[in-house]
Amino acid sequence: MLKIRKRDEPWKWGALVVFLGALLFSLLVSSLLLAWQGKDALFGLNVLWQGSFGNLWALEGVLLKSIPLFLCSLGVAVAFRMQIWNIGAEGQFALGAIGATWMALQFPDLPGFILLPIMFTMAFLLGGAWAFIPAFLKLKLRVNEIISTLMLNYVAILLLDYLVFGIWKDPASHGFPMTPEFTSGAVIPFIGSSRVHWGLLFCLVVGVGLWGFMRFTRLGFELQASGEGARVARYAKIRYGRLVILVMCMSGGFAGWAGCVETSAILNRLQPSLMVGYGYTAIVVAWLARLEPLNIAFAAFLLAALRVGVENMQLELQIPAAFGVIMEGMILLTVLAGQFFLTYKLERKTRQD
Amino acid sequence: MWEFLIPLFAATVQSGTPILYATLGEMMTEKGGVLNLGVEGIMSVAALAAFWVSYTTGSPWLGFLAGGTAGMVFASLHGFVCITCLGNQVVSGLALTILGGGLTHYLGVSYVGLSAPGFNPFIFPLLSQIPVLGEVFFKHDMLVYISFVIPFLFWFFFKRTSLGLHVAATGEMPAAAAAAGLKPLLLRYFAVLSGGFLMGLGGAYLSLAYTHLWTSGLSGGRGWIAVALVIFAFWRPGRAVVGAYLFGGVMAFQLRLQAIGTNLPSSLLLMLPYLLTILVLILSAWRGRRIDAPAALGTNIEPEG
């Protein structure tokens, strides 16, 4: 018989082992899924690998996709750290895109070095404002933020639809729901001759900035201390409410930035195809990274690779894109189950017991 | 006026039914102390399973049962992660929703546009003769009539049976329940599985009665509405009925407005149920009855030693 025992000391490489184990397990189950559908599973895994890491073109694609994931996930993690469950990155991302588009349409003649900062500011403000609603409702009325942030995702996507089907629709788009293409000042340029744009550097700045903020400012310290929850914060005489508002607005602002980057650099206009679920994948990324900024960069890269790899599989094996979503869900679920072994271990029951 | 209202109320009951099943499922789970945010994923998977079984066997009843079973099997993953492995209940539920959405899109893609035998209206003898009420409540499919009975069973289960009392005890104080010689882990599994079964029935309703053909994204946020409604209902089945029909009403109203043609853009109308969910949460918070929540909701039972 096996017996559960609490670990006396933490398992040093445990988190990594659990993470890799979850990854392997999910790969195994998804190849079984492929085999069940009559596809060549080994070939599928190879296509997945080649698609994400096989060549420079693929790697550039992965970097491109990790940018929005990183930003959204950073926001999610900041909130999760304070045990505020912001599930609304998807909606905040949409609002950021709307804010950026609004400015791009408003001032088409401005040069990039003025227009882009304006777009980023508006994206942050609208994304933050969208997250402010649930934060306010949570504080004042104790409305559960999980559900309110989630509902606001649906509302935000419908708002985006309303705009691109209505007042922002390009008259020259032959009825397609999209805004006119951005002027060159509203587009984030590429780095050198690569396919990757300067949003990558922006991620670096935001990441380092957040790290510095958490590490060296009083507010950042309070934020870390409140990670244990509202009661601990109150004992430490921290104004919890103010922090909740701050954290949520920051969280929404980061997701808003991601929306701005994607609209400006990738699509060059606002259209419904912008919404591909980065906000939800960000939750997976944040949790896999155990809410640590550096790990988030790594996990964002990995899940971006998964998305790009699955796109390759879509072409080569004719499978739906949802295959990637299945893997994301499975990885998250197995990591959750595996984390059991970080605090407990199984021991063989001895005679004395 | 009545020509508009009576069909509207009838449609309210119909679109409230899947929400009612799901809300009771979530309530069941939460009564046992486990928060399951995977309702949306469970409903989608169940809707597909129900459709697939009805499509291949030709029996909507088998499909209905398959939906419930699929819901239960899928919920067991949540049970395993949270009850056995002590995983975070919030994140596990989200993972379930992500996984369920993915599976449904992936496996359902070849059925899109196909139709399966579903449930057709069954005019209830005698009761359907009652003016107005008969029209609104008794000209539906059998699954609607079943949903009338379940809240009573639910109430009876928790008020009058010892198993129900034991389940509620693990939702309130698992340690005390264990001390009293109960098996809290098993009871929680029971709550999660039976709750998942009910959620699955809600999902099955979507593909077998609400529509008879398969489209992706059938659940459309109903699972999340169900989670909100449990709070609104203060964990009481009677109020769950009120809440489910309230949402059914808004969904039906919004569809009807679109059908008769208004100047309002459809995307704004489609926002209504989601905005209403937030409003409903604000209203229930206002009444401040948080005391009714199971005390141990969302916390895992740590093993000793």
Q: What digits encode the pLDDT tens for the residues A121-132?
A: 999 999 999 999
Tallying the residues shown for chain A, one arrives at: 353
> Which of the two residues, A61 and B128, has the higher pLDDT score?
A61
What is the pLDDT, as a whole number, of residue B128? 82
A229, pLDDT greater than 70: no
Assigned token pair, B62:
């088998």
Residue A174 has a pLDDT of 83
Give A220 to chain B, closest Cα distance, Å.
Answer: 25
B3 pLDDT above the threshold of 90: no
Q: Which long-range contacts (CB under 8 A, 24 or more apart) does A17-22 make?
A: A18/A335, A18/A338, A18/A339, A18/A341, A18/A342, A19/A288, A19/A335, A19/A338, A21/A334, A21/A338, A22/A331, A22/A334, A22/A335, A22/A338
Element (H, E) at A6: strand A2-6
Task: Find residues 100-139 of chain A whose CB sits inside 8 Å of chain B.
Answer: 137
B6 touches chain A (CB under 8 A): no
Best to test chain B binding among A144, A158, A285, A307 (most B CBs inside 10 Å): A158
| Between A12 and B52, the higher pLDDT residue | B52
Query: CA B209 to CA B219: how far, in whole Å?
Result: 13
| pLDDT at residue A152 tops 70 | yes
First to last CA, chain A: 11
- Token pair listed for A311: 């796109």
pLDDT at site B290: 58
What span, in angstroms and rounded, lies between the C-alpha atoms of B248 and B16?
A: 4
Grade residue A347 by pLDDT with cuts at 50, 70 and 90.
confident
pLDDT at residue B124, as a whole number: 83
Q: Which of A191, A196, A185, A183 is nearest to A269 (CA)?
A: A183
Q: HSE on the CB side for A64, CA within 13 Å? A: 23
Higher pLDDT pick, A105 / A341: A105
Residue type, A141: L
Ranked by mean pLDDT, the top range of A323-327, B253-257, B264-268 is: A323-327
The whole-number pLDDT of residue A351 equals: 58
Alpha carbon distance A150, A152 (integer Å): 5
In this prediction, residue A225 has a pLDDT band, given cuts at 50, 70 and 90, of: confident
Residue B289: predicted pLDDT:
58
Query: In this complex, do A141 and B103 lie within 8 Å of one another by their Cβ atoms?
Result: no
Higher pLDDT, B303 or A153: A153
Is B81 in contact with A142 (Cβ distance < 8 A)? no
**Ramachandran angles phi, psi of B130, nearest 5°:** -60, 130
ipTM (interface pTM): 0.92
Distance CA B281, CA A148 (A): 8
Q: What would the two tokens of residue A116 be?
A: 């882009």
A87–B286 CB contact, under 8 Å:
no
Q: Residue A135 to residues A85, A251, A286, B232: CA-CA distances in angstroms?
A: 10, 11, 20, 19
DSSP 8-state class, residue A54:
S
Query: What token pair was written down for A188?
Result: 């984030």
Q: Note whether B221 contacts A: Cβ–Cβ < 8 A.
A: yes
CA nearest B268: which of B258, B279, B283, B282? B258
Looking at residues A77-90, what average pLDDT do you find?
Answer: 92
- Residues in contact with A149: Cβ distance below 8 Å, sequence separation at least 6, in sequence order: A85, A86, A87, A88, A91, A131, A134
Which of B84, B109, B281 lies at the smallest CB-CB distance from A143? B281
Residue A25, SS3? helix
Instruction: Give the phi and the psi of residue B262 in degrees, each rounded to 5.
Output: -120, 175
Question: Which A residues in the span 312-331 are in contact with B, Cβ-Cβ below 8 Å?
Answer: 319-330
Residues of B whose CB is below 8 A from A85: 90
Residue contact B94–A344, C-beta within 8 A: no
Question: Scanning every residue of chain A, which has its alpha carbon at the shortest distance from the alpha carbon of B286?
Answer: A141
For chain B, give the secondary structure using H, E and C: CHHHHHHHHHHHHHHHHHHHHHHHHHHHHHHCCCCCCCHHHHHHHHHHHHHHHHHHHCCHHHHHHHHHHHHHHHHHHHHHHHHHCCCCHHHHHHHHHHHHHHHHHHHHHHHCCCECCCCCCEECCCHHHCCCHHHHHCEECHHHHHHHHHHHHHHHHHHHCHHHHHHHHHHHCHHHHHHCCCCHHHHHHHHHHHHHHHHHHHHHHHHHHHCCECCCCCCCCHHHHHHHHHHHCCCCHHHHHHHHHHHHHHHHHHHHHHHHCCCCCHHHHHCHHHHHHHHHHHHHHHHCCHHHCCCCCCCCCCCCC
pLDDT at A350: 64
How many other CB atoms sit within 10 Å of the CB of residue A351?
A: 4
For A69, A120, A299, B68, the CA distances from A125, given in Å and listed in that order, are 19, 9, 27, 44
For residue A322, which phi and psi values (nearest 5 degrees)?
-60, -15
What percent of chain B is modeled with pLDDT above 70? 98
Least confident range from A9-18, A208-217, A310-319, B139-148: namely A9-18
Q: Are A70 and A235 in contact (CB under 8 A)?
A: no
Give me the pLDDT at residue A222, please.
83
pLDDT reported for residue B291:
64
In a mutagenesis test of the B interface, which of A29, A39, A280, A336 is the best target, namely the one with the most B β-carbons within 10 Å? A336
Distance CA(A64)–CA(A200), nearest Å, equals: 8
Cα distance between residue B246 and residue B15, in whole Å: 10
pLDDT of the residue at B288: 62
Q: Angle between the B222-232 and B272-287 helix axes, to the nearest 10 degrees?
A: 20
pLDDT at B287 over 80: no
Q: What is the average pLDDT across B154-162? A: 96
Q: Which of A38-42, B37-41, B158-162 has the lowest mean pLDDT?
A: A38-42
Contacts of residue A204, defined as CB under 8 A and 6 or more positions apart, other chains included, come to: none
The reply to whether residue A332 touches residue B94, judged by beta carbons under 8 angstroms, is: yes
User: Once rounded to an integer, what is the mean pLDDT over residues A267-275?
Assistant: 94
Residue B305: pLDDT above 60? Answer: no
Beta-carbon separation of A320 and B105 below 8 A: yes
Neighboring chain B residues of A150 at a CB cutoff of 8 Å: 224
Task: Please tell me which of the candidates A151, A158, A328 has its beta carbon nearest to residue B278.
Answer: A151
- pLDDT class of B40 with cuts at 50, 70, 90: very high
Residue in A158, A154, A178, A160 with CA at minimum distance from that of residue A98 = A160
CA distance A109 to chain B (A): 31
The arithmetic mean of pLDDT across residues B153-166, rounded, is 96
Residue A318 exposed, middle or buried by CB count within 10 Å (0-12, 13-18, 19+): exposed
**Mean pLDDT over each residue of chain A, to the nearest integer:** 90
pLDDT at B154 (0 to 100): 96
pLDDT grade, residue B254 (50/70/90)? Answer: confident
For B139-155, what is the mean pLDDT?
93
- Tell me, what amino acid is at A277? G
When pLDDT is cut at 50, 70 and 90, the band that residue A265 belongs to is very high
Chain A residues within 8 A of B227 when measuring between CB atoms: 146-147
Compute how many other C-beta atoms are within 10 angstroms of the C-beta atom of residue A13.
Answer: 8
Q: Which residue type is seen at A111?
A: P
CA distance B42 to B200: 6
Report the C-alpha gap between B263 and B270 in whole angstroms: 14
Mean pLDDT of the residues in chain B: 91
Chain B nearest C-alpha distance from A81 (Å): 13
Helix or strand holding residue A4 (H, E): strand A2-6
User: How far is Cα B42 from Cα B147, in angstroms, rounded to an integer?
Assistant: 18
Q: What is the pLDDT of residue B194?
A: 98
Chain B residue with minimum CA distance to A286: B91
Q: What is the pLDDT of residues A195-211, one digit of tens each?
A: 899 999 999 999 999 99
